[in-house]
Structure 1
């Protein structure tokens, strides 16, 4: 695969074999983000889990101290007083059964996160086939199936992100934007790593964190030492 000049230049500053301390990795990744737009900085965490086993499925959520740098649109499935509460909390869209055909038939996905009260999951469940593959299905582990819709909306708007294993047992999460300071990116990365270390399945035998790589949207990967997280 042919790389652009900017990518090649950025890659010259990074030693592919070195496992960098988190702060150094953040600094290198930030410097490698030279695109004309505000690149997203992401962490890619390869685990020793086997997602085929239910007890090794990692899924959860964490509020990033400095947010994601992205404006997130929230859809809340609720009715009555809870619908009013969701609107007051700043949800972008609030509704119930009437939204089903809009999503199913009109292909409406003008939202980034879906929250639902438990009593609405019967309705939301009918959207499983369309929401599931997009990673939008509400889930109690992620705090998106809850009666406390105010907290759910506030947390999401403040920078709460979900993390989960993909099919290759890797977790992909944003830690902010290239325009963030190194301190902000480091704080966000630390919050994510703390959450993922805590989420280690008790049934897992062998190495949990296989590798951690930080990248900017258009930049090369920087390997992060996992020594301080293994303990």
Structure 2
């Protein structure tokens, strides 16, 4: 895909061969976010795992201490008292069969779906719709639970799911360009520390193979894995 003139000019600020320390990387990545909207800053980390093996298929959730910088529209599949619990906690849409039918009709104006275990018989048939979009509730992601108040509050506050793709890379939004360097570093610290703790026993060699951070419309900045391990105190 052809790069814009703005992208090419911005890319000149980055030394493609250099591995930047985290503090320097985030100072630079903020400078690279020159679009006329508040760009998302994304972290991409290639891990020393083989996702084909179940014990190396890393997946989980993490609560970002500084939040994500974006509003999360949340739907909850629940009934009875649990439905009221979800509503009181701040869920945007709560329902059961009627909510499933609305989604089957093409409605997908939400960012995350949570369900109580007893509603999975209703949610299950939505797998072909929600699955490809990464919206299907899953116990490993904390989106199938009876603890709805906690789940809704955490996801609204900045809890996100991460999972390694088939190439061994984890892509995680780490904040917005409008965040301060300290805020971005706080989120980075939390994410990298969480991933380090997820290292499977079967993983060989370096766990963090490559790390890069980038704004939505800008080039990536390579972060030094060794400096990162020192940064998170490992």
Bin the TM-score by the shorter chain: over 0.9
Between 203-212 and 151-160, the greater mean CA deviation after superposition:
203-212
| The 10-residue stretch of structure 1 (1-10 or 181-190) with the greater mean CA deviation from structure 2 | 1-10
Unaligned runs of 5+ in 2: none
1:37 deviates by 0.9
CA distance in structure 2 between the aligned counterparts of 1:118 and 1:201, rounded to whole angstroms: 28
Residue of structure 2 in register with 1:71 after alignment = 71
2: CA distance, partners of 1:57 / 1:157 = 26
Indicate the SS of the match to 1:98. helix
Cα distance in 2 for residues equivalent to 1:123 and 1:206: 44
- The Cα of 1:216 is off from its aligned counterpart by 0.4
- Residues 126-141 of structure 1 aligned to structure 2 (within 5 Å): 126-141=125-140
Find the counterpart in structure 2 of residue 101 from structure 1: 101
Mapped partners of 2:152, 2:15: distance in 1: 41
Structure 1 CA distance for aligned equivalents of residues 130 and 19 of structure 2: 37
| Aligned 1:43-192 pairs, distance under 5 A | 43-104=43-104, 106-192=105-191
When the two structures are superposed, what TM-score results if normalisation uses the length of structure 2? 0.94
Unaligned runs of 5+ in 1: none
RMSD value, Cα: 1.3
Size of the alignment, in residue pairs? 230
Q: Deviations over 1:134-166 (max 9, x none)?
A: 111112222111111001000011011110011
| TM, length-normalised to structure 1 | 0.95
| Separation in 2, partners of 1:54, 1:97 | 33
- Supply the distance in 1 between the matched residues of 2:38 and 2:172 (Cα, whole angstroms): 17
Where 1:17 maps in the other structure, the secondary structure is coil
